[in-house]
Each structure stands twice: as C-alpha cells, then as structure tokens.
Amino acid sequence: WKEHKEFEGKTLAEVAELKGVDPFNLTFDLIIKKESPELVDLSMSDKDVCNVIKHRLSMVGSDGWALAPYGVLGEKKTHPRSYGTCPRILGKYVREEKVLTLENAIRKMTSFPVQKLGLRDRGMIREGTWADLVVFNPKTVIDKATYEDPHRYPQGIEYVLVNGEIVIEER
C-alpha cells in the first residue's frame, strides 16, 4: 500500500473505519484484488507466548527483515521483532518473567535449531565451527522496538561476530 501512507501502523479495523467499510469486507476485498499490504499479526497473547517458548521442543527464531532505522530500510513500519526477537526473550522472558533459564533460552536460539536443521558447523562454540557470537549483558539486554516505533535497536548487545569478524561493536 505504498500509495496509502496514511494507513501505515494502523490495524485492519482502523483502516476499515477510515474507509467507512466493514473490516471483514475490507479483508476479502484485499484478497480478491490481490493487494498485499504488509501486516503485523497479533494472534498470540503473552500467555500463549510463554506456553510456547517453555515447551521442550520450541526454538527461537525470527522471520523479521534485516533493517536499519535510517535510509530506505527505515522508511516503512515493520514488526518490532525485526529488531529484537532474541533480546526480547532474554530480557522479558528470561530476566524479568523467569519463564526460561538463560542457558535454556540460549540453547533454543543456537544449538537446538541448528541441530534440527542438520548444520554441524554453527550454533556451538567449539573448534572447527564458525564463530558466530553475540556478546550481551544479561542484566540490560532488552528489545526497545514497539509497534508504534518499530525501528529501534535493542540495548545490552555489546558485540556481534559473524564468522569471527566483529560486525557490531557498541561504543
């Protein structure tokens, strides 16, 4: 909906109200017209998230975009987890709510998913693997992005290394 910046950041119900139409009809009009605005799905409650992430078979991942709060990558609204899926788990669900232990959360973000995918050279710190590392402060790590202001970097991330090279360094 590049031509409808006024709808950016609004719910489907809010857009329907602005257009003076029923939200149900608007949804199907979009499908029929094959228009595909980017939508943020709010289908899970916090209780649902807690139940899912503490399940022994759950893993942490993101379908977020690689973005920046400046330039062309910061022009449109996005889901706040594009900037902070893992910091949210570490800050909210580990430190604040104690839904997971730090060790289990790290496992669900690293070695567990790569083992499931059959990747042998990532997800663990050991000789012969790629050095993909995130150095963070467990006392301060948290996501800062919101639905209203999604282009905000998390706090508490001190370094990010990809293949042994520092790509992010907090100053």
pLDDT one-digit tens code per residue, 66-119: 889 999 998 888 888 899 999 999 999 999 999 999 999 999 999 999 999 999
Beta carbons of 130 and 122 less than 8 angstroms apart:
yes
pLDDT of residue 65: 83
Token output for 37: 């605005």
- pLDDT tens track for 142-159: 999 998 899 999 999 999
Helix (H) or strand (E) holding 35: none
SS percent in the chain: helix, strand, coil, step 5: 35, 10, 55
